[in-house]
Amino acid sequence: MRADLLPASTWGSNLRGVFSRKDWDSLRIPVCTAAGDVCEVCGLEVYTDSGRKRRPDCHELWIFEHQDGRNIQRLNRLIALCPDCHRAQHIGLAGVNDETELVIAKLCDVNRWTEAEATREIDRAWAAYEHRGHYSWDLDLSALVEVVVIDGYPGLYFPAADRERLGNSFYR
């Protein structure tokens, strides 16, 4: 597992925020079910605070690429994650919430790394964040073209200037 941090220009256009609850459920529930309702990274089951088993979180894995003069954030796949593995995918938020040590512990546990190796991984993620922050990113959700429809975007490709139209869950 690697730590991740998305560039600020992409914050809020996550699938949960872009799609209706019904469409998001039609995406996330099969992902969690296919994973056996456990975390795909560490294999842990997930429970509510009251002790009831629940589905893992569903997280988007992205590929950032420069292609034909465009900067593209492409959905690679969806993955079922426990809250601890999910936290490692949002290290900026983990830092804001004073949970960086939890991320380091999870990276060490899952990858069998030392604390120094986990810290280097977080530094790598921050460097990628800094680099990606110099660009505006088109959003490519074409991996979902058979599953969901967004009016005006039949191929589910959104130029960077149109991302705003999707809504932004970060500010809700």
pLDDT confidence of 167, banded at 50, 70, 90?
Answer: low
The pLDDT assigned to 145 comes to 92
- Cβ atoms of residues 5 and 128 within 8 Å: yes
In 3-state terms, what secondary structure has residue 67? strand
Specify the residue for token string 């593209």. 72
pLDDT confidence of 172, banded at 50, 70, 90?
Answer: very low
128-150 pLDDT per residue, tens? 999 999 999 999 999 999 988 88
The pLDDT assigned to 28 comes to 96
Given a cut of 90, whether residue 168 has pLDDT beyond it is: no
Burial profile 149-161: b = 16 or more Cβ within 10 angstroms, e = fewer:
ebeebeebbbebe
The whole-number average pLDDT for the span 80-95 is 96
Give the DSSP letter string of 41-53.
Answer: TT---EE-TTS-E
Domain ranges of the chain: 8-171
149-160 pLDDT per residue, tens? 888 889 999 999
Q: Pick 10 or 138 by higher pLDDT.
A: 138
CB count within 10 Å of CB 144 equals: 17
Given a cut of 50, whether residue 171 has pLDDT beyond it is: no
CA dist., res. 64 & res. 40, Å (int): 22
Residues 6+ apart with CB under 8 A from 169: 12, 13, 14, 16, 17, 18
The pLDDT assigned to 15 comes to 87
pLDDT confidence of 19, banded at 50, 70, 90?
Answer: confident
Tokens representing 60 are 């988007």
92-119 pLDDT per residue, tens? 999 999 999 999 999 999 999 999 999 9
CA dist., res. 14 & res. 69, Å (int): 24
pTM for the whole thing? 0.90
Give CA angle at 137 (88, 107), nearest 5°: 10
